[in-house]
Amino acid sequence: MPAAVRALDEANAVRARLLLEGIDREVLAAEAKADAARIKIDRISAAAAELRSRLAEAEEREENQRIDALIRQADAAAEEAAKLLRTRYEPAAREVASLLDKAEQADTLLREARAAALAAGRSFAVRDVGERLTVAGRVFVPFADTVSLRPVGGFPGWGRARELFERAGFSSELAKR
């Protein structure tokens, strides 16, 4: 484009000089050169604008394809995770819930034993389940209260998740869907 602009500037300079010194035929020839240079500049500008537009469209298509691929990847990952949860979560959750039930039963027995011992004036130094399962030196008591399992399939849930599910008006039958 710089060459086309220089050609236009030169043609306009020649035309200006010829307006003062030249004949009509020479002025018209200079104007034709200036017009040709302007047309060339206009064509270059139009082509550049078209290329910018095509580039923007191509970049937009590319970005949309990237987003579409990301959406497909996310959808596939979510479907795979859901399949795994449908097939493996329910049995695992049932096993964990069974362990938690045992922890609750043990803690209930410990509370009863503690109350009976204290009522009889005896000391009681048996640690409950949570005290036996410290994390980084911290005690979470009672242990079963710190766990919540979401309902799924035929599993009705456990702990806070089950309570929330039932409070929302869902039955364990709906968890199967």
66-70 long-range contacts (CB < 8 A, ≥24 apart) are none
pLDDT tens-digit map of 121-147: 998 888 888 777 776 666 666 667 778
pLDDT at position 143: 67
pTM, whole model, 2 decimals?
A: 0.52
Domain borders along the chain are 2-146
What does the DSSP 8-state code read for residue 152? B
Q: What is the pLDDT along the chain (177 residues), one digit of tens a residue?
A: 688 778 878 888 888 888 889 898 988 888 898 888 898 888 999 999 999 999 999 999 999 999 999 999 999 999 999 898 888 988 999 999 998 899 889 989 999 999 999 999 998 888 888 777 776 666 666 667 778 888 888 888 888 888 888 888 876 554 444
Residues 4/26, Cβ–Cβ less than 8 Å: no
Closest Cα to residue 15, out of 32, 40, 37? 32
